[in-house]
Structure 1
Amino acid sequence: MNSLITSIAVKDLDGEDVDLIRLYREKVQLLMLYNNDCLGCTGRALPLAYEFQIQYPSIQVTGIHADFPTREGTKENIKAVFRSGNNPFPIYIDQHHKVYEQFHAEGTPQWLLITKNGELYRSIFGSQDNAKNRLFYALESLIGLDR
């Protein structure tokens, strides 16, 4: 895979423009494209992203809510998914699903593992055990390369 990414343009929950490549430069990033209306996303992928954040504190875990017609994310409905009412990691909004299209996502959740140099290391679809195992091995492999 290893294609260089120059920009990942999203909005923060207050509607401000953010470029994730610039914001988290020189950090390994695990980005999860998801949607609140996706039960696999809210029931399995969001908890899995939190699990990876705890297990790999050196990486930046980030959620990106992919907006689709009639399935848009707002600050309120994104935070409402979490029992505490607070996001456990940064979450941004992909208006008009441009990032989703940029990475040719197969659906939601779509995971993007990006190197410290801004290269796409792996793109993995899903939230069940097979995807979880592939993510785990990709993370272990990439973090092992950085040691």
Structure 2
Amino acid sequence: MKQSYLKWIIGVFVIIVAAAAGSMLNFGDNVVYFYTPKEALAQSDELSVKTIKVGGMVKAGSVDWQPTDIKLAFTLSDMKGSEITINHNGTPPDMFKENQGVVVEGRISSDGKQMVAKRLMVKHSEEYKKPDDHSSMNKALLEESIFKNEKY
């Protein structure tokens, strides 16, 4: 009876180890690492064969949006002098704008000066502010619902 119990424990252990090893091998191929512009520029030669993510700020005055061709180009900066020109085919996210944080996923050139983006992810504020009187489309509805000044 002890031998039967021991065989089950060993069998389950072997299955768990095999599943963990298999998932770790596959997981490594699908991981997309996050770099700053400075890190991406420094390692661009070896990173040019991988899909990477680079996070930074959209440099003011650098956005070139061509809606007829659905092409977007802008400069991604770490605000410390490291910059990468980003080219993206597709519409920018709704909250995309200059001086906004963005994470770009794609491939960087071997010289690190350009990157072709597959995906753009915009950082947004987690803070919600009450709309002012001029921008509120239905002020009465908002005041009746969530912005009551009543004490409970």
Q: With structure 2 as the length reference, what TM-score do the two structures score?
A: 0.22
Larger relative contact order, structure 1 or 2 (CA cutoff 8 Å, min sep 6): 1
The structure with the largest helix share of the pair is 1
